Structure 1
Amino acid sequence: MMQATTINRESAAGANPASDAQNLRGAGNDMEMIKAASSLTRDLNAANPVIYWADFVASALTGYAALFAAIFAPSIWLCLLAAALSILALYRAGSFIHELTHIKRRDVPGFHLAWNIMAGIPLMIPSFMYEGVHNQHHMPKRYGTVQDPEYLPLALMKPYTVPLFVLVAALGPIGLLIRYALLAPLSLAIPPLRRIVVERYSGLVINPEFRRRMPEGEERSRWIALEIATSIWAIGLLTLTATGIIPLAAFLTFLGIASGTMVINQVRTLVAHLWENDGGEMNATQQYLDSVNVPPPATLPALWAPVGLRYHALHHLLPGVPYHNLGEAHRRLIGALPDASSYHGANYAGLPGLVKQLVGSTFKRGQ
């Protein structure tokens, strides 16, 4: 998130690419899987506006109601309980930013604007932070390379990078306040600073080498409008807190809950891929096998990987399928493809095993 980690790719220098070449390199394109994925899911590409609106609005309202409950709770235990509910609900609401990058505005009219008003601006993650960035993660020639804003070879890096990767996310809300309350206004008067802010601090990315281009045309107009609104919100929040209108405890509770959503998302990101690519280009099957599905019967992924994120590998195979249809797409492919199909190779049982695999890989390859 917003250059969410300062971990450098050079941390993977201890890995031996020759002897530790990942198994993914041996995978050829599984054309049977690719053709089946396309033919079996053609009727699942349409977004259902009712589902989008109901799910998002319910998540956002629940999150903010629980936030106020945490602020005014009469005991620490009720505060913690309400805060936990708020974190999960606002995390789910915020996760719709991923859907915004894939659905067309005409498919769910007004949804982009509503999301920004109800989640993007209050949580200081307006949609321009992801739109125009996430699509590069899906480009076949960029996935897993130094040009991919959402990829780091974590499995090949030093063991300390895993906890550091998560801990840095906890500071995300502070970084966002600095970006919108301080850097954004200053950058209007200092052109060199503006370029730095746009290139380095205007994307929810994990690759510190990624540099974003300056926005143009309609993208620039939307960007500026959302950035101004978010800056006003951030400045207002700090001003009202400094003047005592918003109690410091309430402000810190908000920051804590926002931090919680970012930590969960960062943990989810840890297991969204196997992170075993050393920078070379990968074919479609290799990209799929480097990604992760955590399908049923596992139940907890519905909380830590909501809005279809539990089907991350399937999403890379079928990026046009909306989140609410990914479960059905998965069931069809599981039923149609033989056990020898590559499709089964990206399905995992749950979070603990994936984290253990990643940490074990860092100790083997990143020493």
Structure 2
Amino acid sequence: MATNHTNKQDFVDDDSAGYTQDESGFKFSEARHLIRDLGRPKPIIYWLDFLPCILIAHVLFMTMRYMHEILPEDPSRAYLVQAILFPVCVILYMRCAMFIHELAHFGDKIPYFRQVWNSLCGVPFLIPSFVYLPHIDHHRRKSYGTDEDGEYFPLAHMSRWYMVAFLLHNLIVPIMAYLRFLVASPICWVYPPARRWVHRHASTMVVDPFYERRDGSPELMRLVVRQEVCCFLWLLWFTFGDWIMTGQLVSPLWLWGYLMGVAVLTLNAVRTLGAHRWAGDGRVLSFEEQLLDTVNYPDRPWVTELWGPIGTRYHALHHLFPTLPYHDAPEAHRRLMAGLPASSPYRETVRTSLLGEIYVLWRRADESATSREPIAT
């Protein structure tokens, strides 16, 4: 399991998390030179992207919630409108939620963005920004694919049932998050010894179910408590709001919130399965092994941007340059493909079909379960 110590890197993100030397036939300095004028986040793009998406999504969600009150005389039409609005909401909320990835890397470089994102998205979806701060370990040279990387699981070497479980567990994640912030948080406030276990085991967005988060610094723990309080207050309203306002004991908002949470989580889980080849075996991988273990999907942006928004469809590029803002990813990828040698390993990261890559992983997992031999990247 991960070593437990104060994580002094919770608020740090620089090129030390990526790769800074030339190895294995890949010229990092050459790649960096090709995108030397890119890399500075543009706040106006973040605001004009996030705010319209989250506000429209909230309006559509509440429209679904009250559609039968809006059309009481025509329930069939109300169901039809809800069926149309639901996938639109899922796509919009998925996009908004993925800004947590940018926050993990850029922190407060965009003034007030973290606070606004948490207020409009992080807290309502029970994913306040502190749960994703350990993401930076996923990019550290000596952490990637090891026990210290909570976002990695060697799926290519495991039974297919782990992939199935990874998708199905999203049915209970919203319930677990609900209990984490409505029950576990106040327990930690009144009984501090519980904090250590909750922080290590129930405070991080992870792929590896056995991951232990490092103990937090005093600065981090103050942030955690503030965001916990916000989530707790939101859940009080979510749970009892309809009863206070209308006397209704069972709120339709509960079902809609659960369904939306499961849908967004499942879409993100499918994206995650295709983001890597998951061929690590627990050891520290070389630069080229790490690069070839990640995947880019640059083609058909009108489709790939729906399931891989905010730069997540350029996952190999992101591992190469973790501090590259999402709005620079398409141009950076275009330059690298045009400027790097034909033999560059970077070209091996490009795929066209998410489902096709997941099928390859499914096949590798079956072969590995049969042979129990390492699968080459």
Contact preservation (8 Å) 2:158, 2:368 = yes
Corresponding position: 1:290 with 2:284: no
% identical equivalent positions: 33
Cα distance in 2 for partners of 1:52, 1:246 equals: 39
- What is the aligned counterpart of 2:47 among 44, 48, 53? 53
Instruction: Give structure 1 regions of 4+ aligned residues with deviation exceeding 4 angstroms.
Output: 241-247
**Aligned pairs (5 A) from 1:174-253:** 174-241=175-242, 244=247, 248-253=251-256
Mean Cα deviation higher: 256-265 or 71-80: 71-80
For 2:223, the aligned partner's letter is R
Q: Give the Å deviation of 1:339.
A: 2.4
For 2:141, the aligned partner's letter is P
- The 1:241/1:193 distance shift into structure 2, 3 A limit, reads farther
Q: 2:91: which partner in 1? A: 88
Cα distance in 1 for partners of 2:210, 2:84 equals: 39
- What is the aligned counterpart of 1:42 among 19, 28, 36? 36
**Aligned pairs (5 A) from 1:27-38:** 29-38=23-32
Q: 1:119: which partner in 2? A: 121
Q: Give the Å deviation of 1:248.
A: 2.1
Contact preservation (8 Å) 1:314, 1:330 = yes
TM-score (norm 1): 0.88
For 1:329, the aligned partner's letter is A
Mean Cα deviation higher: 66-75 or 355-364: 66-75
Contact preservation (8 Å) 2:25, 2:344 = no
Q: Give the Å deviation of 1:44.
A: 0.8
Q: Give the Å deviation of 1:313.
A: 0.5
Q: Give the Å deviation of 1:199.
A: 0.6
Match of 1:338, SS state, is: coil
Q: 1:333: which partner in 2? A: 336
Q: Give the Å deviation of 1:32.
A: 3.9
Q: 1:316: which partner in 2? A: 319
Match of 1:299, SS state, is: helix
Q: 2:347: which partner in 1? A: 344
Cα distance in 1 for partners of 2:127, 2:149 equals: 20
For 2:172, the aligned partner's letter is L
For 2:126, the aligned partner's letter is M
Q: 1:128: which partner in 2? A: 130
Contact preservation (8 Å) 2:131, 2:203 = yes
Cα distance in 2 for partners of 1:69, 1:234 equals: 20
Q: 1:260: which partner in 2? A: 263
Cα distance in 2 for partners of 1:262, 1:206 equals: 12
Q: Give the Å deviation of 1:314.
A: 0.4
**Aligned pairs (5 A) from 1:62-81:** 62-73=56-67, 74=71, 75-81=78-84
Contact preservation (8 Å) 1:137, 1:149 = yes
Contact preservation (8 Å) 2:274, 2:355 = no
Q: Give the Å deviation of 1:211.
A: 1.2
Cα distance in 2 for partners of 1:217, 1:196 equals: 16
Cα distance in 2 for partners of 1:163, 1:305 equals: 20
- The 1:221/1:344 distance shift into structure 2, 3 A limit, reads same
Cα distance in 1 for partners of 2:195, 2:322 equals: 33
Q: 2:305: which partner in 1? A: 302
Contact preservation (8 Å) 1:169, 1:263 = yes
For 1:273, the aligned partner's letter is H
Q: Give the Å deviation of 1:247.
A: 5.5
Q: Give the Å deviation of 1:58.
A: 1.3
Contact preservation (8 Å) 2:107, 2:114 = no
Q: Give the Å deviation of 1:103.
A: 1.1
Cα distance in 2 for partners of 1:187, 1:298 equals: 44
Task: Please give the per-residue CA displacement for 1:300-355, whole angstroms capped at 9, x wherever unaligned.
Answer: 21011100000001000011110000100000000011322101100001112111
Contact preservation (8 Å) 1:156, 1:361 = yes
Mark the runs of 5 or more structure 2 residues left unpaired by the alignment. Answer: 1-21, 72-77, 371-377
Cα distance in 2 for partners of 1:173, 1:80 equals: 21
Q: Give the Å deviation of 1:63.
A: 1.2
Cα distance in 1 for partners of 2:154, 2:46 equals: 33
Match of 1:271, SS state, is: helix
Cα distance in 2 for partners of 1:148, 1:250 equals: 35
Contact preservation (8 Å) 1:33, 1:343 = no
Q: Give the Å deviation of 1:234.
A: 1.5
Q: Give the Å deviation of 1:362.
A: 1.1
RMSD: 1.7
Cα distance in 1 for partners of 2:208, 2:300 equals: 33
- What is the aligned counterpart of 2:112 among 97, 110, 113? 110
Cα distance in 2 for partners of 1:70, 1:289 equals: 43
Cα distance in 2 for partners of 1:214, 1:338 equals: 44
- The 1:122/1:246 distance shift into structure 2, 3 A limit, reads farther
For 1:152, the aligned partner's letter is F
Match of 1:300, SS state, is: helix
Contact preservation (8 Å) 1:47, 1:322 = yes
Mark the runs of 5 or more structure 1 residues left unpaired by the alignment. Answer: 1-27
Q: 1:8: which partner in 2? A: none
Q: 1:16: which partner in 2? A: none
For 1:40, the aligned partner's letter is L
Cα distance in 2 for partners of 1:241, 1:176 equals: 21
For 1:70, the aligned partner's letter is M
